[in-house]
A and B are shown apart, each in its own frame.
Chain A
Amino acid sequence: MNDERNKERLAASQGETTLDIDMDLLVGYILLIGVSVSLVLVLAALIWRWRETGRVEFDYQITGMNFFEFLVTEIRLAVHGSLRPRLLLSLGIIALMLTPFLRVLASMLYFMVALRNWKYSVFTAFVLAVLTYSLFLR
């Protein structure tokens, strides 16, 4: 009985080790891809703007919108096919802000599903809840 439990524990801890490494890679790549997408969009926006107008300045403002309103506005513009430098820049900012958010989401799912570590599931859920609240701030 004890032997079996120990074996289970051993298997679990070994499982944890392999998964831990996967987690590092997963989180690492989420951050890398998020930031890269954002940088490419911002760079593309600047180049496009420069080729169109000879200037790299943008004269629009983001006012009176929280993140999700900003997101919805820009996605609506994208769907309507009005792809412009300004939209690329906005999407770049959106991708940047979504990057840490997705990282926390992935960590939470990992602690919940793969590790079944309730302590850290609660911790990451709290972080995710506060972040979500902040993105909906008025």
Chain B
Amino acid sequence: MSGMGGGIVIIPMLTLLGVDIKHAIAISILSVIATSSGSASAYIRDHITNLKVGMFLEMFTIVGALAGAKITLAISPKPLYIAFGLVLLGSWLALLLARHTMWHTGAQDRFTQWLELEGSYPDQALGEVVHYKARRAYFGAPLMFGAGLIAGLLGIGAGAVKVLIHDLVMGLPPKVSTTTSNMIIGVTALAGTSVYLVAGLISPQLAAPVILGIALGAFLGTRLLVRMTNQAVRTFFLIVLLILAVEMIVRGMRGGI
């Protein structure tokens, strides 16, 4: 939904139900494959997603995800709660500050041009085809490694982080950035899931209801996004991120219970 995999909601819920946070992270990242692939499917067929941007950035996110998942296996649960809250709050703040920057196509640097990172997509809300050129891929790529690290570490799609990098650093139009983020998330989540599977943290009993429930939610979210304006998508993001950030930080201060 809106470039977010849904893990950000699932993990707080599962831990509230008494599931150990590492198991919650493992199940979440598995279910993230379902949500991101499910909604990415529709966006790709609608020609909004930029496959080249996605493939290029995936090189960095999957390596990050492997490293992140390895770290989670090694550390204690408490820092995970705190990291979760901080990631949420950081995403929210950055998005809030960027609220008034309207998207516009800009000059492209040589490296990004060499990577052929540009495209066009039909915008249903505007009723026209939008052309765009990405920029600063040299800066976006290492940041995407960080996004992958967070995804693997916390078992979330880290869609909000990826969208920020696409929007603010690489200058992609909001719809392209959310949908391309969605595609990247699926592959990144798979890398993380493999690590958790070997560690024995993927519990089939938890997996079944979580996968089904989250897939239903994502399906409905996707149908909605295509019909929303860029501004509405942003506003929606702001509200969801704020609620979750406050919730996780309060829980972190209580000592990770």
* Residue positions of A touching B, CB distance < 8 A: 21, 23-25, 27-29, 31-32, 34-35, 38-39, 42-43, 45-46, 56-67, 70, 86, 89-90, 92-93, 96-97, 99-101, 103-104, 107, 111, 119-120, 123-124, 126-127, 130-131, 134-135, 137-138
Contacts and interface: CB of A to CB of B under 8 A. Distances in A.
Chain B CB within 10 A, most for which of A21, A38, A59: A38
B235 interface: no
Contact of A124 (B55, B66, B207): B55
A60 B55 contact: no
A97 B192 CA distance: 11
B78 to A, nearest CB: 25
Interface centre among A29, A31, A66 (most CB of B within 10 A): A31
A47 to B, nearest CB: 11
A26 B113 CA distance: 26
A12 to B, nearest CB: 14
Contacts of B34: 35, 38-39, 96
B38 A134 contact: no
A31 B222 CA distance: 14
A16 B40 CA distance: 22
15 contacts: A24-B47, A25-B45, A28-B44, A32-B41, A39-B215, A62-B197, A63-B200, A93-B202, A96-B211, A97-B194, A111-B55, A123-B59, A127-B58, A134-B66, A135-B194
Contacts of B207: 42, 89, 93
A64 B187 contact: no
Given A96-B33, A119-B115, 12 more contacts: A31-B44, A32-B38, A39-B211, A46-B212, A58-B204, A61-B200, A63-B200, A97-B30, A97-B190, A130-B62, A130-B66, A137-B195
A59 B55 contact: no
Nearest to B182: A31
Given A119-B115, A130-B66, A137-B195, A103 B37 contact: yes
Interface string B161-199: 000000000000000000000000011011101110110
B33 A97 contact: yes
A70 B211 contact: no
Contact of B208 (A56, A111, A130): A56
Interface residues of B, number: 44
Contacts of A32: 38, 41-42, 45
A135 B209 CA distance: 24
The residue among A43, A67, A92, A100 with the most chain B CB atoms within 10 A of its own CB is A100
A67 B209 contact: no
A85 B203 CA distance: 15
A127 B45 contact: no
Given A93-B207, A96-B30, A119-B115, A131 B198 contact: no
